[in-house]
Chain A
Amino acid sequence: MAWFSISHLRKTYGDFIAVDDVDIAVAKGEFLVLLGPSGCGKTTTLRMIAGFIAPSSGRISIGENDVTDLPPWKRHCGLVFQSYALFPHMTVAQNVAFGLETHKVPEAERGPRVMEALRLVRLEGFEKRYPRELSGGQQQRVALARALAMEPQVLLLDEPLSNLDAKLRLEVRIEIRELQQKLGLTTVMVTHDQEEALTMADRLVVMERGKVRQIGTQRELYERPANRFVADFIGRSAFIGGKVMALGQFQTSGGLSVACRSASVVGPATLALRPERVAIGSEAEGLPNRFQAKVVHASYLGALLDVQVALNAHDRLLLQIPNRAGLSEPRPGEVMTIGWAEDAGLVFGEG
């Protein structure tokens, strides 16, 4: 049951289509992440939800209410800004109380609710400080407390972690996720950071050039990407050009014949292979697609070895070899046997 939904949302600026026919339904308590490269329309979508941008067409509804035509101050969705946007002339407590005052919460109730919000983000004792006296991480938590205090119907997060340093980012994303689950908050977050999206989301919406490319859980996106863009954007894939000859039959541009379950529509296509699904040496025995491959480049990444191999002049693949005891590092020029199962390769038709 969708608690919050966007239907056929569209935003155009002259000829430029920023957001194109976006349909999203979010269940109550769900953490949804809008993910995509910059300029994909994810931030525009979030700003339309918050009411700062008027959609060209389409509807947005929260709970029972259609909010499409409501101004931002009547939407009751708490937004955490990328820049935090704290009020510099107000103390932490005044910042957090702001939303309570505008919503006419009785004065006696405000104090306890401010304290509760600050306790949730572990900022007790900072009430009287000014934002400029806080670190980036603390400011971010004030922004979160301020949005939480007014008990929003939907929590919106606009790249909330992008201004934190790398180590803090890892901590904060788990903190936010735990808080969201504890409070059962329906949340929509925008990010371009894939790892961040994967760790925090219940479901993800992958966007590109204003369009939704796929909606699904982490596993769905990784294992069953709907198109080449998603296969490339989520995780890593090696792409081999070629064409589908017949049902289950893919021929690479280098002339190799590959057995593939998902090859159905005859014509030019691309084969995508996840590096960890490619077996090496004796592990490749008995697999339907077995080839000799020459090592082009190997990188030592600690837990893994990243190896690029060439099957022939045209077809290249990416392998990942776990770093086990006694592993001999492949050297450029070395030839090895590799192989993969029929269902490991995904074929995407062109156009």
Chain B
Amino acid sequence: MSAIRLRAARFALNAAAAFSLGFILLPLFFVTWLAFFRQEIPSFPPEGYSLQWFAAAAANKSFVDGFILSLQVGIAATLIGLLLGVPASLALVRHRIPLGPGVNTFLLLPLVMPGIVLGTATYVFQIEVEITTSVPVMGSLVGLIAAHTLVVIPWVVRLVTASLAGFDRSIEEAAQNLGAGPVTTFWRVTLPSIRPGIVAAALFGFVTSFGNLEMSLFLVGPGRTTLPIAILQYLEWKIDPTVAAASLIQIVLIGVSMIVTDRYVKLSRVV
């Protein structure tokens, strides 16, 4: 009796897992399929297959510019996010700072805040800054990078505090005992030990920034459009498979970077 129940339970679990996975993968599957359709208006069944939309995506100036801008913003935001987030994580884990748990939650907040809210708030803030200081922040590259840094920081703090929590501090003492001062100890022992967390944080931070649409919508200026926005703008006028091709390139790039990262740090162990 119980054996049958167990088997039923296992079947239910597997079915649920398969369903969830399908739910996630199905859109990706259709985007991939669509990118190779020959006809301009997506309809089933496809009339034939072609690579022309990839050429169209590569020839589309706003896609290419958007891709480059997203790349720049993503890399800059990730680097700044690491520079701010790693020391913050060290402080949170190592020192008893006043309101520590509160500060921790505060730093994670951009992750749970709806993108629209975050975008509106940042937009209003940047306008206020511009009015008060007369520095043209609104619509500037700096403003965009600053906003994206905001969504990178939670990833850094979450992943780096997690790797620090399981960190054996006696190896830092061993380094000091062997003649290494605090700076050498940090670079040669502490940092390499939390490297998996940092690499994973950089990857997820970058991906979050690269794919961000809602917040960026408020902050881009004239002639400065990120890839997700470029895609959205294109969709307002046309629905040919160029968009699918551009998305597929994005998906492949992110997928490849995750696989490459996973070779060096086991992401499943860190995240």
Interface residues of B in 162-212 (CB under 8 A from A): 168, 170-171, 173-181, 184, 188-189, 192-193, 195
B179 / chain A contacts, CB cutoff of 8 Å = 73-74, 76, 99, 102-103, 150
Interface membership of chain A positions 73-96, coded 1 if the CB is closer than 8 angstroms to chain B and 0 otherwise: 111111101010111110000000
Shortest distance from the beta carbon of B96 to any chain A beta carbon, whole Å:
15
Q: Tell whether A72 is near chain B: CB-to-CB under 8 Å.
A: yes
B195 / chain A contacts, CB cutoff of 8 Å = 89
Interface size class of B (residues with CB under 8 A): 10 to 19
Q: B171 and A98: CB pair below 8 A?
A: no
B189 / chain A contacts, CB cutoff of 8 Å = 87
B171 / chain A contacts, CB cutoff of 8 Å = 85-88
Partner of A73, one of B168, B170, B176, B193: B176
* Number of A positions contacting B (CB below 8 A): 26
Shortest distance from the beta carbon of A109 to any chain B beta carbon, whole Å:
15
Please name 14 pairs of A and B residues whose Cβ atoms are closer than 8 Å in the assembled complex, sorted by A: A71-B181, A78-B178, A79-B177, A85-B170, A85-B173, A87-B189, A88-B193, A89-B193, A89-B195, A98-B180, A102-B178, A102-B179, A147-B177, A150-B179
Shortest distance from the beta carbon of A139 to any chain B beta carbon, whole Å:
12
Known: A89-B193, A150-B179. Is A81-B184 also a contact (CB below 8 A)? no
Cα A73 to Cα B176 in complex, Å, equals: 5
Q: Tell whether A278 is near chain B: CB-to-CB under 8 Å.
A: no
A150 / chain B contacts, CB cutoff of 8 Å = 178-179
A51 / chain B contacts, CB cutoff of 8 Å = 176
Partner of B173, one of A72, A74, A103, A147: A72
Cα A102 to Cα B170 in complex, Å, equals: 18
Q: A98 and B177: CB pair below 8 A?
A: no
Q: B174 and A102: CB pair below 8 A?
A: no
Partner of B184, one of A52, A76, A86, A102: A102
Cα A127 to Cα B188 in complex, Å, equals: 19
Cα A72 to Cα B174 in complex, Å, equals: 10
A79 / chain B contacts, CB cutoff of 8 Å = 173-174, 177
Partner of B175, one of A75, A87, A147: A87
Known: A88-B193, A89-B192, A98-B175. Is A83-B180 also a contact (CB below 8 A)? no
**Beta-carbon nearest neighbor of A74 in chain B:** B179
Q: B193 and A99: CB pair below 8 A?
A: no
Question: Which residues on A are within 8 Å of B, measured CB to CB?
Answer: 50-52, 71-79, 81, 83, 85-89, 98-99, 102-103, 146-147, 150
Q: B193 and A78: CB pair below 8 A?
A: no
Q: B168 and A99: CB pair below 8 A?
A: no
Shortest distance from the beta carbon of A188 to any chain B beta carbon, whole Å:
13
Known: A73-B181, A102-B184. Is A87-B176 also a contact (CB below 8 A)? no
A102 / chain B contacts, CB cutoff of 8 Å = 175, 178-180, 184
| Extra contacts besides A72-B176, A87-B175 (7): CB < 8 Å | A72-B177, A73-B176, A98-B180, A99-B179, A102-B179, A102-B180, A146-B174
Shortest distance from the beta carbon of B110 to any chain A beta carbon, whole Å:
31
Q: A87 and B174: CB pair below 8 A?
A: yes
A73 / chain B contacts, CB cutoff of 8 Å = 176-181
Q: A71 and B178: CB pair below 8 A?
A: no
Partner of B178, one of A83, A88, A89, A146: A146
Shortest distance from the beta carbon of B10 to any chain A beta carbon, whole Å:
34
A76 / chain B contacts, CB cutoff of 8 Å = 179
Partner of A99, one of B170, B173, B178, B181: B178
Q: A50 and B170: CB pair below 8 A?
A: no
Interface membership of chain B positions 7-44, coded 1 if the CB is closer than 8 angstroms to chain A and 0 otherwise: 00000000000000000000000000000000000000
Cα A103 to Cα B176 in complex, Å, equals: 11
**Beta-carbon nearest neighbor of B178 in chain A:** A99
Cα A132 to Cα B75 in complex, Å, equals: 34
A71 / chain B contacts, CB cutoff of 8 Å = 176, 181
Interface membership of chain B positions 136-178, coded 1 if the CB is closer than 8 angstroms to chain A and 0 otherwise: 0000000000000000000000000000000010110111111
**Beta-carbon nearest neighbor of B184 in chain A:** A102
**Beta-carbon nearest neighbor of B176 in chain A:** A72
Q: A81 and B170: CB pair below 8 A?
A: yes
B177 / chain A contacts, CB cutoff of 8 Å = 50, 72-73, 75, 77-79, 147
**Beta-carbon nearest neighbor of A77 in chain B:** B177
Shortest distance from the beta carbon of A310 to any chain B beta carbon, whole Å:
50
